[in-house]
Amino acid sequence: MKTLRQPSAGPSRPRAARRTLTWERGPVGVAVRPRAVAVVIVLSAVVFAGLVASLMIGDYELPWNDVVTGLFQAGPADAELVIHELRLPRALVALLVGLALGMGGAVFQAVTRNPLAGPDLIGISAGAGAGAVLAIMLGGVTTGQSTTYGAVPFGAFVGALATAAVIYLLAFRDGTITGYGFVLVGIAVNGMLAACTRWMLARIDIDQATRATSWLTGSLNGREYTHVRWLCYALVILVPLLLAMARPYQMLQFDDETASGLGVPIARARIALLTLGTCLVAVATACAGPVVFVALAAPQIARRLTGTAGLPLLTSGFVGAALVVVADLIARTAFTIELPVGVVTGAIGAPYLLWLLARTNRAGKGG
Amino acid sequence: MGLLLVLVFIALVASLAIGTRNVAPTEVLAMLGGDREGDAGMIWDLRVPRTLLGLVVGMALGVAGAVAQNITRNPLADPGLIGISAGAAFAVAASVGLLGLEGTQSYVWFAFVGAAIAGALAYFVGGTGVGGATPAKLALAGAAISVLLEAGTSALVLTDPDSLDRYRSWAVGALTGREDDLIWQLSPFVVVGVVLALVIAGRLNALALGDDLATTLGAKAGTTRLLGAGVVVLLTGAAVAAAGPIVFVGLVVPHVMRAFVGPDARWLVPASGLAGAVLLLVADVIGRVIARPTEVEVGVVTAFLGAPFLIYLVKSGKLREQDS
């Protein structure tokens, strides 16, 4: 990652003042960067357009004006059914999952100061996968309609949190949460969990294995309002908590001396932020399976869009939402068969990841 | 070296003797010499092919790990860790799923190609920038490629339950359930790979000194490295085609062996081969007894032995001196 240089905030610096609108009255002050606001507005428009498009396109095509009116008021009965029962829950799950993954990814990358320390590489997704497959194995789940299906997201959630706890304990013992040692420990844990998952996959019967493999690829097929509701509950709790920690989040992107000099209790802030980030990723993964590369790519794209030195938290979430909504639209409609969304994000994200690796290496920060 | 041979022998006998039905080692030896009735029949039919496969695969992985670590001058250059195994696995899944090939004989070539491409890609991406392919960069590139290829692999096998069924029993990394003549089909590749590794072992020593010094000493660094890469691809491709992606063996074995025989490749390569065979056979035996009455496949056992070792390597700071 490039060295993080915070754009000099505050009214005393004239260069920053040109790009930042500030408003101060006594102890209260608000600083707004027009570019960041513009980016968020454009991204919201993209997300909304993607949402409308994914409501329009499918086996039963709907004109866009029907969709927009159908969203807000009762329309024709068949359009009502297609929009509200079939396509809207799925599109909303895509949006919320993307939001959670984008913000969670930003937290991981900021706190570890490593653009590659995402949940995909350090084993958190693998932990969720192992937990989910375990639930499928014990619950005998073969279809999304099985009575025990509720155990699968639960298993994934618990698996992700447990794995994260193990990795943090291993990494925190001698305070090496930043740097590549942390990622290497994660890769080791990842290898172990992947072996577990493969072992379980070879044990269970073929219907369960199909179900599990499809889950492991990250799919939004057949998501309902239950998922939307759970995602909403989780995000309503987690996002405000995270935004309340925006200041330590910004500060931790500096080196340790600077951050503690600025009055951030480093160890506590790190644990709190990582816990929140892990919860976000775990909730998203529990709902949609490990949708790879979103947590990795979204914060990096967001940073380039806003032009800030640090990783923007909220913008990352919006980029993630846009990514998953569009990727799911492509996965659903671009090919003759419906692909899991994880395949599309993987196909887009993997070349990007390799490019990112090559680039960080060239910058001499590759480890 | 003599001790290692003894260990290999013990591991072989243990692998023949221990299982759902234990047989006393002395009887095992007697049976190998003589009749094929009763228990002896079971041993000849089930355990001898399995043990031989373990021997060959373990040896291949051990030698491949030693050579890979040597030519990349990188202690984390394990074929499983840097994406070579995932490449072979993806190629096998593609050949089974898209081309409908059956039988190891037909997809072993795909395994070679996949292994070569993935390894080259990991080395290329990991090798950019200052200091070449440092341990962390190479492992990261390999992990990224593995994640990508695994996603691709599961997308491939999802379309067809039959290939998923075949793929999952292969991907777990097991020595059982293979065709009987598999061992005879793959042994030539492994033999060629091991012999080649032993032949170039002397030149590998020169390579360890750095490219400039190696060239000064008269060793052709480029040629040696290419030959070494060929050995790694050959051995890993064969091992993966036979037993599935078994990770961490190629990482652990050369490290442990280096502590005993020192860094001289002429000793390290054969020692790693023998120790790899021991590790794989012992892991297989552990897998048989640990979860009776079922079995845990050898790939799972090696992952659980190898991952803590990797964590130990990272924690002990042994990687740092070679880091850039």
Q: Tell me if chain B has a CB within 8 Å of the CB of A191.
A: yes
Q: What is the 3-class SS of B5-33, one letter each residue?
A: HHHHHHHHHHHHHCCCCCCCHHHHHHHHH
Q: Which helix (H) or strand (E) holds A23?
A: strand A21-25
Q: What is the CA radius of gyration of chain B?
A: 19
Spatial CA neighbour of A62 closest among A46, A76, A79, A77 = A79
pLDDT one-digit tens code per residue, B5-48: 777 777 777 777 776 667 766 666 666 666 656 666 666 666 77
Q: Which helix (H) or strand (E) holds A187?
A: helix A180-203
Chain A / chain B CB contacts < 8 angstroms: 168
Domains identified in chain B and CATH numbers: 55-323 (1.10.3470.10)
Which DSSP string do the residues of A305-324 spell out, in sequence order? HHT-SS--HHHHHHHHHHHH
> Cβ atoms within 10 A of the Cβ of A236, count?
9
Q: Tell me if chain A has a CB within 8 Å of the CB of B303.
A: yes
Q: Are A192 and B303 a contacting pair at CB < 8 A?
A: yes
CA distance B128 to chain A (A): 6
For residue A187, report the phi and psi dihedrals to the nearest 5 degrees: -65, -40
Angle made by CA atoms A186, A192, A195, in degrees to the nearest 5? 135
Q: To 10 degrees, the CA torsion angle through B195, B199, B205, B211? A: -110
Looking at chain B, which residue has its C-alpha nearest residue A188? B307
pLDDT one-digit tens code per residue, B231-255: 888 888 888 888 887 878 888 888 8
Q: What is the DSSP pairing of strand A21-25 with strand A28-32?
A: antiparallel
In tens digits, chain A (367 residues) has pLDDT values of 444 444 444 444 444 444 667 766 666 666 667 787 888 888 888 888 888 888 777 777 777 777 777 777 666 666 677 777 778 888 889 999 999 999 999 998 888 887 777 788 788 888 998 998 888 888 766 665 555 667 788 888 999 999 988 888 887 666 556 666 777 788 888 888 888 888 888 888 888 888 888 788 888 877 778 888 888 898 999 989 988 888 888 888 877 778 778 777 777 888 888 889 999 999 998 888 888 788 888 888 888 788 777 788 888 999 999 999 988 888 888 777 777 888 888 777 777 777 777 776 666 544 3
Place of tokens 């269970």: A204
Mutating which of B76, B168, B295 best tests the A interface, going by the most A Cβ atoms within 10 A? B168
Q: Are A191 and B248 a contacting pair at CB < 8 A?
A: yes
Q: Tell me if chain B has a CB within 8 Å of the CB of A169.
A: no
Of A116, A195, A343, the CB nearest to B300: A195
CA distances from A143 to A210, A212, A282 (A): 9, 10, 22
Alpha-helix runs per DSSP H in chain B: 2-17, 25-33, 39-42, 48-71, 84-97, 104-126, 135-158, 161-171, 182-208, 211-216, 221-243, 249-261, 265-290, 298-316
CA distance B319 to chain A (A): 9
Looking at chain B, which residue has its C-alpha nearest residue A219? B155
CA distance A208 to A141: 6
Task: Give the residues across from A30 on adjacent strands.
Answer: A23
pLDDT one-digit tens code per residue, B139-198: 777 877 887 787 777 777 777 777 777 777 777 777 776 666 677 778 888 888 888 888
Spatial CA neighbour of B108 closest among B180, B187, B55, B175 = B187
Cα four-point dihedral sign B241, B243, B244, B245: negative
Q: Which residues of B touch A342 (CB under 8 A)?
A: 151
Q: Are A214 and B158 a contacting pair at CB < 8 A?
A: yes
CA distance A353 to chain B (A): 7
pTM listed for this prediction: 0.78
Close Cβ partners of B138 (under 8 Å, ≥ 6 residues apart): B72, B74, B76, B77, B82, B122, B123, B126, B127
CA distance A232 to A174: 37
Whether the Cβ atoms of residue A157 and residue A279 lie closer than 8 Å to each other? no
Q: Which residues of A touch B303 (CB under 8 A)?
A: 191-192, 194-196
pLDDT one-digit tens code per residue, B259-279: 788 778 888 888 888 888 888
CA distance B324 to B147: 25
CA distance A232 to chain B (A): 28
Of B158, B168, B304, the CB nearest to A202: B168
State the distance between the two ends of chain B, measured CA to CA, in whole angstroms. 34
> Cβ atoms within 10 A of the Cβ of A16, count?
17
